[in-house]
Chain A
Amino acid sequence: MSAPSGPRFDAARVPFGLQFAGVRRRFSDAAGSFFRIFRRSLELRIVGITVALSALAIVGTSTYMAYSIGGGLFDARVEQVTNEAARATKAAQSTFDSSTATDAAALSVLQGTVLEEIGAVATSASGIWFRRGPDTPANSSLPEATQGRVDEVVSTALSEQVTTGSLRQYWQSVAVPRSDGVVEPGIVVGSTIDVPQAGVYEMYLLFSLEDVGESLGFVQGTLAIGGVLLLLLIAAVSWVVVQFVISPIRVAAETSRKLAAGHLEERIPVRGDDVLATLAQSFNGMADSLEDQITQLARLSQLQQRFVSDVSHELRTPLTTIRLAGDVLYDRRIGFDAPTARTAELLHTQVERFELLLSDLLEISRYDAHAVDIDREPVNLVRLVEDAIEGVESLAERKGSTITLVAPGGHFEGEMDGRRIRRIVRNLLSNAIEHGEGRPIEVMVDSNEDAVALSVRDHGIGMAPADTARVFDRFWRADPSRQRTTGGTGLGLAISLEDASLHRGALDVWSEKGVGTCFRLTLPRQMDTPFGSSPLPLGPEEDPQ
């Protein structure tokens, strides 16, 4: 099948209703996109509304003008033709009155003369009907005469008015069918003529209004063209005016966007002394105070981070002395009596714990100060996890947990900071052991096309949802009353989360009280390409067993 016939074939198969719906949908889509543009563009909206309202006004005025001009033209024409008709009637009447003709032949000649006379007086008349009045016998000697098909357009109402009315003249608007079928406007003026030898005759004169129509058409055309030009002018003017008003607003919008994006030094140039200048001034004032406050906050936060960092550093020297002293005592504890030996032991372990806390605190303060570098090297995540499991095996044995590793994927060298990832894994493992209640712990490693993931699942005490939400908070403990065995610092998960974010990865948690907890670390294969979904599930419903 050739390509162009494809769509046609499809269209033929679509029921008509659906096609129609399709057309309607396309139409409503077009209308929708138009309205969207209309809604989004203030200038378009203002110009549109201005043009619409002006068009309404222009159409109104033009209609009124056309109507009154048309009326005036018509009235003038009516007056002209009635005058002409009156003069023609008068001339005809006087010709008949002064005539002495009695026989039919003479009257016929006379009638011809009268008709010529009338033609000379009523120069704009296009037709005439000379007709016997109702009381004139049909065999009277003066015959009826017609020119220009006037007899076809005179209504009985007009002839009744003419024969019975008290006025000398009556007129009526008529539609005159031309020979080419076009109907043109006209006026028929009727009057009576008393022919002395024959009786009362009705005389109708037809005047064409075509020239009036032409004038009116010209006026209307001029009005229409003028109106359209005026509308275009109004559109252009309102567009220009709107630009004047809107460009400062646009500058303000752009400036506030930049401000929001962190360019605190952005300001609006203030010009003139009008309301827009006031807007610019108050906007700049707001930006000033915003900048001051943010700078102050940033300085305070910097001071605070600096303080934490300094404290951590300053503590290290005395801590080193304490550590050395404690260790010297600890190494000689065999020579001490039991309570002193135990004291040396406690001193030793607690100094170690203090040291851990201090180094975690320093690490967190480095993250807070954004003074963290990523040290990338090729790392095989599966091998890294194997090493980490080996490192905690003795601790797991003491707690009664077995750790199994399932690794369907992840057997490749990924670019990551091995030290940080190792720290995360060690942390997740020791958490699982501590809260795993001696039940088995499953570790999974898998990868997909854009990410590699690791999950650590325990079947221990688990956490309530409110606790789960706070698990990455600093110094936060799910159950403060629980006895600590692995001596964590309370900063481990917070640091792990920072480490994961540094790799543009994610650290997620699932937990249910009494069922267990699952932590999942997902890292992008390439640091610069964000990953779609994690290769590993989070939670129990998708557990492998």
Chain B
Amino acid sequence: MSDATAGPVILVVDDDPALAEMIGIVLRADGLDPVFCGDGSGALDAFRRARPDLVLLDLMLPGLDGISVCERIRAESGTPIIMLTAKSDTADVVKGLETGADDYIVKPFDPKELTARIRARLRPLAVQNGFLQIGDLSIDATGHEVRRGDERIALTPLEFDLLHTLASKPEQVFTREMLLEQVWGYHYKADTRLVNVHVQRLRAKVEKDAENPRIVTTVRGVGYRAGAAV
């Protein structure tokens, strides 16, 4: 259909050839450019070679399991990762999210859900200008950079999105549902663990003392806000 080189590149890591091919059909139909990798051990090479815009990663893989692959990709890049999982069991999902996956989709899923999730992670950040200041952090929306003084803090696009969303309205308390909608693009009730896990990951990077957060603070029973609690 569309020009294969034109669309964003999606690395599909899945050991089931039929499912991989079917996902490929769905992705191409949506103007995306899929590349494939059939096992865990080759996934990192494929990632380096293809330099994808997003990774679709099956959790159950021969060779190296999905969680480890996720960990290794995250170690060298902030590229969005969406896990494909046959398990909706709490432990696996949370483990995947904690190793740095941005989102997850439980099998079986439908094509619309798949492309919606991918598009949500690929969507170009709304053009934002200028600098935001939160605590001792300065956020450069245009340059996609977060600094503490001269020190540059490396965030994944998702973490940047999360921090930017909170910092853009420091007076507002965001519920988990609001964050799911604005950052992840969910328009229906989804798993609020996504928010919890990524707030923890974000805090680990931007807070001086993650135990005693001052940048992203919790408002008990409601959600999160940027800056110290009043």
Cβ < 8 Å to A, chain B residues 167-212: none
A324: Cβ under 8 A from any B Cβ: yes
Is A63 close to B, CB under 8 A? no
Is A214 close to B, CB under 8 A? no
Number of interface residues of A (CB under 8 A): 20
Give the number of residue pairs across the A-B interface with Cβ within 8 Å. Answer: 51
Q: A313-B86, A318-B18, A373-B90 are in contact. Are A331 and B107 (CB under 8 A)?
A: no
Tell me the dominant secondary structure on chain B's binding face.
helix
A323: B residues at CB distance < 8 A:
108-110
Whole-angstrom distance between the Cβ of B18 and the nearest chain A Cβ: 5
Chain A residues whose C-beta falls within 8 Å of the C-beta of B86 in the assembled complex: 313, 316-317
B85 to chain A, nearest CB (A): 9
Task: Known A325-B22, A328-B26; judge A320-B107 contact (CB<8 A).
Answer: yes
Measured CA separation A309–B97 after assembly (Å): 23
User: Closest CB-CB distance, B77 to chain A, in whole Å?
Assistant: 27
Least CB distance, A10 to chain B, in whole angstroms = 58
What residues of A have a CB within 8 angstroms of the CB of B89 in the complex?
Answer: 371
Interface size classification for chain B: 20 to 34
- A254 to B135 CA separation, bound complex (whole angstroms): 66
Chain B contacts with A in 73-121, Cβ cutoff 8 A: 86-87, 89-90, 107-112, 114
Chain A residues closer than 8 Å to B29, beta-carbon distance: 328
Is A324 a contact partner of B26 (Cβ separation < 8 A)?
yes
Asked if B25 CB lies within 8 Å of chain A CBs, one says yes
Residue contact A324 to B111, C-beta cutoff 8 Å: yes
- With A313-B86, A316-B86, A373-B90 known as contacts, the answer to whether A321 contacts B112 (CB < 8 A) is no
Distance in angstroms from A134 CB to nearest chain B CB is 126
Residues of B within 8 A of A378 (CB): 221
Q: Compute how far the CA of A317 lies from the CA of B19 in the bound complex, rounded to whole angstroms.
A: 7
| A121 CB → nearest B CB, Å | 119
Question: Are the C-beta atoms of A320 and B90 separated by less than 8 Å?
Answer: no
Residue of B18, B23, B90, B112 ringed by the most chain A CB atoms within 10 A: B18
Residue of A327, A331, A373, A378 contacting most chain B CB atoms (<10 Å): A327
Q: Report Cα–Cα, A327/B22, bound state, in Å.
A: 11
Q: Which residues of A contact B110 (CB under 8 A)?
A: 323-324, 327
Contact call A327/B112, Cβ cutoff below 8 A = yes
Q: Closest chain A residue to B109 by CB distance?
A: A320
Q: Report the minimum CB–CB distance from A97 to chain B (whole Å).
A: 133
Closest to B106 in A: A316
Q: Are the CB atoms of B26 and A355 closer together than 8 Å?
A: no
Least CB distance from A369 to B in Å reads 11
Say yes or no for B16: interface residue by CB 8 A criterion: yes
Q: Are A355 and B25 in contact (CB under 8 A)?
A: no
- Whether A324 lies near B107 (C-beta < 8 A) is no
**Contact of B26 with A316 in the complex, beta carbons under 8 Å:** no
Q: Does A388 contact B (CB under 8 A)?
A: no
Q: Which residue of B lies closest to A332 (CB)?
A: B29
Chain A residues near B221: list those with CB within 8 A.
Answer: 378
Q: Does A73 contact B (CB under 8 A)?
A: no
User: Which residues from chain A contact B16 at a C-beta distance below 8 Å?
Assistant: 317-318, 321
Q: Are B26 and A319 in contact (CB under 8 A)?
A: no
Measured CA separation A488–B112 after assembly (Å): 24
Pairwise interchain contact A324-B112, C-beta atoms closer than 8 A = no
CA–CA, A325 and B16, complex, Å = 15
Take A320-B107, A323-B108, A328-B26 as given contacts and tell me if A313 and B18 are in contact as well, using a CB distance cutoff of 8 Å. Answer: no
Chain B residues with CB below 8 A from A320, complex form: 19, 22, 107-109
Q: Is the CB of B111 within 8 A of A319?
A: no
Contacts known (A317-B19, A328-B29, A373-B90); A355 close to B112, Cβ less than 8 A: no
Chain B residues contacting A319 (CB-CB under 8 Å) are 107-108
Encoded as 1 (CB less than 8 Å from any B CB) or 0, chain A from 67 to 93 comes to 000000000000000000000000000
CB–CB B111/A331 < 8 A: yes
Could you list 16 examples of A-B contacts with CB < 8 Å?
A: A316-B107, A316-B108, A317-B19, A317-B107, A318-B18, A319-B107, A319-B108, A320-B107, A322-B108, A323-B109, A323-B110, A324-B110, A325-B22, A327-B111, A328-B26, A328-B111
Apart from A316-B86, A320-B109, A328-B26, list 9 A-B contacts with CB within 8 A. A316-B108, A319-B107, A321-B18, A321-B19, A323-B108, A323-B109, A324-B19, A327-B111, A371-B89
Chain A interface residues (CB < 8 Å from chain B): 313, 316-325, 327-328, 331, 351, 355, 371, 373, 375, 378
B residues whose Cβ falls under 8 Å from a Cβ of A = 16, 18-19, 22-23, 25-26, 29, 86-87, 89-90, 107-112, 114, 221
